Structure 1
Amino acid sequence: MASGDDDDPIIEEIDVYLAKSLADKLYLFQYPVRPSNMTYDDVNHLSAKIKPKQQKVELEMAIDIMSPNYCRSKGEQIALNVDGTTCDETNTYSVKMMDKQSFTSIQATTNTSRYAAAVFRKGELHVTPLTGILQMRPSFSYLDKADTKTREREAANEGGDSDQEEAEEDVKAITVFSPESEQARQRRIQSYEFLQKKQAEEPWAHLRYHGVKDGRSEHERQYLFCQSVDASENSELVKTPKEYLAMLMPPLAEEKVVKPVGPSNVLSMAQLRTLPLGEQVKTLMKNVKVMPFANLMGLLASGTDSTAALRCIQQVALLVQGNWVVKSDVLYPKNTCSPHSGVPAEVLCRGRDFVMWRFTLERSVMRKEIASIIKLPPEDVKEFLEHVAVPRVNRGWEFLLCTDAEFIKKHPDIAHRQHMLWLGIQSKLEKVFNFSKDDFRPKNSQLPDPVHVSGEQRLKTAHDRAQGNQSSLQKDLDTRRAGSSVHVKQEPVSDGEDEPMDTSSSSVPNGSVNGYPGDAAPAFDHTNGDGGNASSSELQDFVIKTFRKHFVLTLSEFKRLLGLHMASMPLGWSVFPSISDHMLQDAILLCQCKQIMVPFPAQTTAAPDEQKVFALWETGEKSDMHRRLLYELFNKNYRIRRNMIQVKLSQEFGDVPKADVDRLLHECCISHAGMWYLKGTVQS
């Protein structure tokens, strides 16, 4: 504590003692249905009993029948329903009125190793471990007794001839003995009836209740204090710094981490990201069925290598119209069958491959035509189509997503490889279903010539594309400086034009609908048009809402949040199915945000997207001035001490309340090892 600018100085030291006199007898009772200011301390406790092994407690407490809030007619009616008109020792309510209520406990937690009761006296803290934490809730067993009485009365009224006839029947019960298998035994042991029987076998231990102010209670409370304060006898808390640190942070080798299994219909992103990258991609594709590559990268952890993700997705999915569709053998593994019809997985895979192959040729297919060729039950055919398409009036089933022509342009080698895979699948399907590709080619369509892309051509294409992007970006910046508004229009792009921004369209390229081979697809341009207005408006709305919530975001984290937002929308509904980094940064800067030039250390391991930090600059609130001063400090250093921030705020704005400083740091920063960093910039 020698450092003068420490943020959390020690102001007092308190000795802690472990009291063990009540270590195996101390229970914490909670009354969740009762307000904390209405205790049962002054209520007369009639009886108490416990089953120690089950940690089950039952209490009976008196009800004040003389209270003005007590409804006597209702109390008499309940007693009459429960006990009837007889008067004997078995009656629940002896005064013919509901004058008591019962409470039964349930365990709030089965592991109480982290909980203890503590008392403070004369600068010493005495701690006693808890044996159990029980929640006492009202018991309505008297209603069961009343229901039993009602059924007995009804049975007595309906008796007579039927009872006599049953008595005359000569029925003998025959007991059949058969050996019990191990599986049947396990089911019986885990059954509710067996557990109820085991719980009933433990006898009740009757207790005597002592009030809070009773002398016996005061005597027992003394056991909450450690009986001996000699350090040699209380060695549990006397540890060396190394041993104490090992207790707080056990070695990782001691932990047995169970690898989570991706569920079939619900995905936990936290558990999913503990899996290897290949398993993550497979689980996502198996659940989503069809997805653009940009959406997949948004769902994966920030900083994931796109090349590795591309390598993984090609193992579990096929490219259809620029989007990735999960392979049939992933959905229908070998030696399985259809849940609808029982058709073997091999037959299902062939039928589904035919459906996907048809979507590589055209946007829409007819269900009856598909069923007539693959000859599978209607339920299976409908399931194939629902995976990748939606029904349209008078148009059959249309592919779910817009053609991602931008992905095909960026990755021509992958598109060519997938095209060759589909040719191989097509040849197999032609033999199985006895058809020709020409049978499904639209009229007046010409066969595309095979395309062969050499390494030199790819290098030249990439060079031209980079020049085009730079030219387009320069034009856009000039337009912004001139003060003109930016609109979006969907127009075809010829081979000689510059490539537009990274935003795909719903139009279908000429030639093959799958996007390879074919001409350039229409894309968004920075001119007038309604489609771009919708895209720009939706993107800006998302930017504003996101930064209003998080205040500071790296570009990598913003892209992840955008990917999650797009994935949560219905497939095919998003106005911006694919967006470039330039468009994202422009949209952020247009929404009252600025980039913070954080001076990261030279040896930083942060990715480029993690070094681009954007922050909300203008909200119209008084706290904007404090926030801007904080950003200026982080323009000079990537980590700052709290007292420095406090001093700067005091110099500029006078005495700033501690609550305002806490709120500012909570909104924009994160604390690590005594230093404060902007969100997303902590270096591991």
Structure 2
Amino acid sequence: MKYDDVTHLSARIKPKQQKVEVEMAIDTMSPNYCRSKGEQIALNVDGASTDDSGSTYATKLMDKQVFSSIQSAVNTSRYAAAVYRKGELHVTPLHGMLQLRPSFSYLDKADAKHREREAANEAGDSSQDEAEDDVKQITVRFSRPETEQARQRRIQSYEFLQKKQAEEPWHYLHYCGVKDSRSEHERQYLFSQLAGMVETSELTKSPSEYLSMLMPPVEEEELKVPLAPSNVLSMAQLRTLPLADQVRTLMKNVKVVQFANLMGLLGSGVDSTAVLRCIQQVAMLVQGCWVVKSDVLYPKDTCSPHSGVAAEVLCRGRDFVMWKFTQDLWVVRKEVAAVIKLPPEDVKDFLEQMAVSRVNKGWEFLLPHDSKFVKKHPDVVQRQHMLWMGIQAKLEKVYNLSKEEMMPKKHDSQPAVPVVLSGERRVTTAKERVRENHVALENEYRRRKSPHGADSQNPGSSLLAIKIKEEPLSEEEPMDTLPWPGSGVANGVHSDESSRDSVDEHSAARCQGEQSKLVSAELKGFVCGVLRKHYVLSLSELKRLFNLHLASLPPGHILFSGISDRMLQETVLDCGCKQILVPFPPQTTASADEQKIFALWEAGDSFDQHRQILLEIFSKNYRVRRNVIQSKLCQDVGDNLSKPDVDKVLKDCCASHGGMWYLKGTLPS
């Protein structure tokens, strides 16, 4: 569409920002104009008000549009406007190049009107309970001196730039058409008025010499070893660094790698256990491969090179993308962007680091699933699984996601990764270990019975010998040297293969029982420590703290054997806790685990009675004022109860919100 013959209503400019806006009329009588749509847009923007003084469209019809400028080039020092006339080339330097595009600011005004109408409708719906919430706590904070890094982040933020742009006033202009006499007068400034007044020397160079002056030939440099940039290391330089720095540097560059390939990059002679310890500090396990952590790529006090978003927000969004790949081999970019709400450039950057785009399918994880590593290091896989559970819980709260949205999608191409071994599998593993111990003990017995063994020099030493069916005892070996309770030995040999299996099952069961006792003791120690610190906890909060505790444990710890919710609840009750039946706020969205509240009934200090009275108060009301709690405590305990004592009891068991006190775990989100 040409705009030469369109009526220009107004024009304005911000010189410092080089921003121009031009308002043009729309031909509402054109056969291509939809009148009903124009009326609807005007109604959405201005509402049904009859006052036309502050309205955008006075005719109740969208009869104009605004064209706003953007800079088509940031650096214009390389460009000039040239005009050729009468054998002369007149060149004028450019200080800016702008492109006008339609502005849709009227849609923002329509959204603002819609929000105002919704706020007006909700203003009269307050209830008596909401009236009580009008009491708000006022917090006074004193601003600290701004650091240089904080100032740089602030002036690069989107809000600061918008504020600076709004501060510069508009200067209104008078628009002149292309054929206007004033425009013709301005175009004359493109021609130099000093022609003939400036002395110019005649060009005496030949065309080839003049060309070589304009474009001098590249001088051949001596062959030298190219110097790498300051942020690039050669493999030889890399291997001079400590192992932890080598792993960190490699992961920052490759982003995604399989463990076997990483060992190949580090060279021969490197201990795989040490590498495994180092990589868990800088990377997370995704699809059996290692992906560099977000805080390694986006350190604290930095921002996005694309949009200026703070590093903390970037890490949160990238963690969500990584977590999605732990659930599925494929990720859809639009679904991710709808959740993390970051600029498209940052979302694309996240995906390109760990995935490859497939047409009409989405983004596929960059490397195939590393099943060899998963089978070889189940303890590391289990620990990483616990870490991801903690991250998942954090992402659920940050992005307000439901359980259904967090469920993984099923694909046939996605391999199943066992995380927790079943009971049958553990028994089988224990049997195999018992058989290995049988062989080791039998070899020890042979060594001691040999002429040069230990028994030849110390006949009084005790022996533990186990003979299997294929090698019967000799006549010289007495029967009393084979003590094995319940082993079913007859005449120095096992009666059949089933006797051997019964020994294995007995040993496996005994090992299983000892391991169960150790797990129970370790779990009870953790739960008691947490309860003495928090006093009141919901089951979901206890599970979150337990996952964080697992993440801090070394690989192969006994608690990685798998702790169920039922085992966790039984341990809580064994530690002297009680499940408190308390009411929850109406229309609560708390899950079943969040509605299970446990309280330490007796901590062994002087405040046990105070806390028990407090818990009885909350068994009838889900929120209570402080004066009600204080009067009840003074009535039941005594008038000598001080304010610090009341504060301690409230801090142990409650949380404040809107001038009211709630029991921990029942506070509305």
Give TM-score, length-normalised by structure 2: 0.36
Give TM-score, length-normalised by structure 1: 0.35
Larger radius of gyration: 2
Relative contact order (alpha carbons < 8 A, sep ≥ 6): 1 or 2 greater? 1
